[in-house]
Amino acid sequence: MPAAPAESASAPKPESLEILSLLSVEREVDVLAQVDGVVEEILQDQGVRVEKGTELARLDDRDLQAKLARARADLEVAKNNVKFNEAELKARQAAYRRAQEMFKEGLNSQADLEEAEFKAKGAEYDLESWRSIVTRTEADIRVLELELEKTGIRAPFGGVVALRYIRPGQFVRKDDKCFRLSQLAPLQVRFLVPETAPRRPKPGELVNVAPVSDAQRVYIARIQSVSPTVDPASGSYDVTAVLTGADLGELRPGMSVRVLWGPATPPR
């Protein structure tokens, strides 16, 4: 059960301040599409808890799969041509060396020697050309594999699916919102304390936090940070407190709460 109401919730002392705020978490993001495509399947829906890397939805990847298969086939052809041209180069270089020996012995002409040299250099150029094709095709395959991986929309961290923006069959563009993912813990509350308050809040101090919908349920939060300066627009310190205790199951990010800053009473 949640903590019992603290005395400060029902009868705050004169130096206590009651401040309206919202519960939040450190990490809450909209998960965006990384490539254009048609939503093929929704794998996780609103309210589901997921781990980091869990696939939330999948875009149609048939076109990319076909391009990848074609590129892999082209790579095999290029590699086979490299092997063939390696053998061809060895043969042409050997023929050129023989032509050089024969020319020294006067057994062939200058034209024969030049032809052998031309064929050897041509074989070398052909080999380098096919090696370049292999390198380029391997790079194309890596790009396609990366694009294919991006058709899976994945959770960037563990949390709960707060919202789903997309539906099966919908065409989405890169950077379109697909899901909202939120951590459930640790819950925190940010609030402003006027510089005219009796004293400045300090990290480590406790505050009472009560849901607006049920003021009888009071929870304890510990101040985590206080802005070192006063915001000139509001004339206040920006304070962040993290809720403590294990029994916070009914609290959710986005809930409206009242923060009672002063002598917080621990739960009984």
Q: Dump the DSSP string for the chain.
A: -PPPPPHHHHS--TT-EEEEEEEEES-EEEEEPSS-EEEEEE-S-TT-EE-TT-EEEEE--HHHHHHHHHHHHHHHHHHHHHHHHHHHHHHHHHHHHHHHHHHHTTSS-HHHHHHHHHHHHHHHHHHHHHHHHHHHHHHHHHHHHHHHHHTEEE-SSSEEEEEE---TT-EE-TT-EEEEEE---SEEEEEEEETTSSS---TT-EEEEEETT-TT--EEEEEEEE-SS-BTTTTEEEEEEEE-SS--TT--TT-EEEEEESSPPPP-
Output the CATH code of domain 62-149: 1.10.287
- Is 190's pLDDT higher than 90? yes
Tens of pLDDT, residue by residue over 191-240, are 998 888 878 888 999 999 999 988 788 899 999 999 998 988 889 989 99
pLDDT value at position 15? 59
pTM for the model stands at: 0.68
pLDDT value at position 213? 87
- Domain made up of 28-60+151-182: CATH architecture: Beta Barrel (2.40)
Domain boundaries, the chain: 7-26+185-261, 28-60+151-182, 62-149
Position 11 confidence tier, pLDDT thresholds 50, 70, 90:
very low
